[in-house]
Amino acid sequence: MISLLKKLFGSTAPRQEGKPFMEHPDGTFDNAIAAMEDAIHRLRSLPEWTRWITFCAQGQGARPEAYAMAEVRMRGGTLEILSEKPLESPGAFDLSPVTGPSEQDHAPGGGHVYALGDMTPLETARMLDSIFRRHFQIRPFPDEEDDYAVGAEW
């Protein structure tokens, strides 16, 4: 599994331009939520966060030998869900749909755009975990102890 993650997200070498902003599992974090929380904290600590970043999740697909992958994009307080269908209950995730043309014009993937509100990095990471699991049906592989692979890159 780790070799597949290296192919998807790159090696665990020091981060350089063009390398992933975050990847899990690489031995740094206990689970995907902790990895995403750290990434969100680092993103919010930037002097200016004007670029979209893509969070990718990978887990078991419909069959035990199949893979499922999903992507969402974030920029500041905005989340873009890259899916044909919008979230069934955005309020359950404490999200508000963004319908104004100015934000939609700037969304890179043409997906469904939501405002994050005032969530902490941990709350945002838990919300992303819930979206990956419930909306995109990302499931951990049986030997992954209820965890799945996640990465973030510019």
Asked if residue 5 belongs to a domain, the reply is no
What is the share, in percent, of the chain residues with pLDDT greater than 70?
Answer: 77
Asked if residue 110 belongs to a domain, the reply is yes
Mind listing the pLDDT tens digit for each residue in 101-113?
444 445 666 788 8
Does residue 139 or residue 105 have the better pLDDT? 139
d(CA 68, CA 40) in angstroms, rounded, equals: 23
Asked if residue 147 belongs to a domain, the reply is yes
**Residue 126 burial by Cβ neighbours in a 10 Å radius (0-12, 13-18, 19+):** middle
Q: What is the mean pLDDT of the chain?
A: 82
Asked if residue 31 belongs to a domain, the reply is no
Asked if residue 6 belongs to a domain, the reply is no
pLDDT of residue 99: 58
Q: Indicate the number of domains in the chain.
A: 1
Does residue 136 or residue 144 have the better pLDDT? 136
pLDDT of residue 100: 53
Asked if residue 45 belongs to a domain, the reply is yes
pTM of the shown model: 0.80
Residue 88 is part of which domain span?
37-153
pLDDT of residue 86: 82
Residue 19 has pLDDT above 70, yes or no: yes
Expressed in angstroms, the distance from the first to the final Cα of the chain is 23
